[in-house]
Amino acid sequence: MPQFLEAAISIIFDGLAYAMLLFVISVGLSITMGLMGFVNLAHGAFAMAGGYVTVSLMNGLGVPFLPSLGLTFVSIALISIPLERLVYAPLYKATDLDQVLLSIGLVFMAIGAVTFVYGPSPPSVQMPEFLKGQIDLGFKVFPSYRFFVILVGFLMIFLLWFGFERTIIGAKIRAAVDNRSMAQSIGINVDRLFILTFAMGSGLAGIGGGMAIEIVGLSPTFAINYLVLFLIVVVVGGLGSLRGAFLAAIVLGIVDTAGKYIWPEGGAFFIYVVTIAVLLVRPDGFFGKEHVQ
């Protein structure tokens, strides 16, 4: 295989794996921001908490990796419900600044609490044998774990697409994102809908945190270190848009990987160039609804 083709294939493959990780973590943030307009900077804390739940399940209780991810989803989703009711809900009508201050405060509390319980040292987990090593797809050999991450990403997008486009609840969520007061006036309980999406989004972030351990590692400051990336995915994709978040994650993941491969000295340059370029042409992101204010 010619060198450049081989390079191109590995860039697309590695970029996709990175993109799926970004997508799984960011999609919940996009939906909740689109639905409630709530600026939840603590979203990364749910991903971080998910990582630690996965670590506890695997290292503490000996649960295998795949069931751990499932349990992580359930537990982070459950934890997020009382938080949403008690901490977030009172500030839905507050200004953006209040919401930012509250949620960034929650990030620091989460970092402190996790450091207190688990200590500041980064933990790690051992993957099952079938996710270690490489997988041969005939034309090229790929790292199994990244292949797995891509599969999970596509599975998630399928499930979310189905839930959003083919179920009544999904239709209600879309209606509420489009026009909240109209949705309420035709009898949709937007509050309950929001609890559901908030829990789903947080749970997904938790899975993302669990999957990220093997790729970028985990530490209490995960909650804030990658926050900018998640926000970029949301903004470039457009608030509240499922396919927007998906497309943005893929574009940013592949561009970032290609940039690092071709011109490592450029650092994080490319991801910001793309962000600026997209927002210049489409200020509301790929699929964001236009804000008329």
Partner 1 sequence: MKLKTKILLGVTAALMPFALNPASSDAAEVKVGVVLTYSGGAAHLGKQIDQGMQLYMDSHPEAFGGHTVKLIKRDSKRPGGDIAKNAVQELITREGVKILAGFMFSPNAMASAPLATQGKVPMIIMNAGTAWIPSLSPYIARVSFTMWHSGYPLGKYAGTELGCKTAAAGYTDYPPGKDSRNAFKTGFETTGGSLIEDIPMGGPREVPDFTPFFQRVKNAKPDCFFVFVPAGNHATAVVKTYEALAMADAGIRLIGPGDITQDTELQGMGKGAIGMITMHHYAADYDTPQNKKFVAAWKKAYGADSTPDFMAVGGWDGMAAIAHAVKTQNGNVSADGTMAALSGWSFASPRGQISIDADTRDIVMDVNVHKVVQRNGRLAIEVIGTVPQVKDPCKELKIGKCGK
Q: Which residues bind partner 1 (CB under 8 A)?
A: 3, 6-7, 10-11, 14-15, 17-18, 21, 115, 119-127, 132-134, 141, 143-146, 214-221, 225-226, 256-258, 260-261, 264-265, 267-268
Q: Residue 131 has what DSSP assignment?
A: G
Closer to partner 1 by CB, 18 or 23: give it.
Answer: 18
Closer to partner 1 by CB, 15 or 285: give it.
Answer: 15
Coil, strand or helix at 135: strand
* Contact present, 277 and 232 (Cβ < 8 Å): no
Question: To the nearest whole angstrom, how small is the minimum distance from the Cβ of residue 139 to partner 1?
Answer: 16
Closer to partner 1 by CB, 177 or 248: give it.
Answer: 248
Tokens linked to 266: 């450029």
Question: To the nearest whole angstrom, how small is the minimum distance from the Cβ of residue 122 to partner 1?
Answer: 3
The residue behind tokens 């990582």 is 51
Question: To the nearest whole angstrom, how small is the minimum distance from the Cβ of residue 129 to partner 1?
Answer: 10
Closer to partner 1 by CB, 65 or 198: give it.
Answer: 65
Distance CA 21, CA 147 (A): 12
Question: To the nearest whole angstrom, how small is the minimum distance from the Cβ of residue 115 to partner 1?
Answer: 7
Question: In the chain, how many H helices and how many E strands?
Answer: 12, 2
Coil, strand or helix at 281: helix
Question: To the nearest whole angstrom, how small is the minimum distance from the Cβ of residue 84 to partner 1?
Answer: 27
Closer to partner 1 by CB, 169 or 216: give it.
Answer: 216
Tokens linked to 173: 């969520």
Residue 13: phi, psi to the nearest 5?
Answer: -65, -55
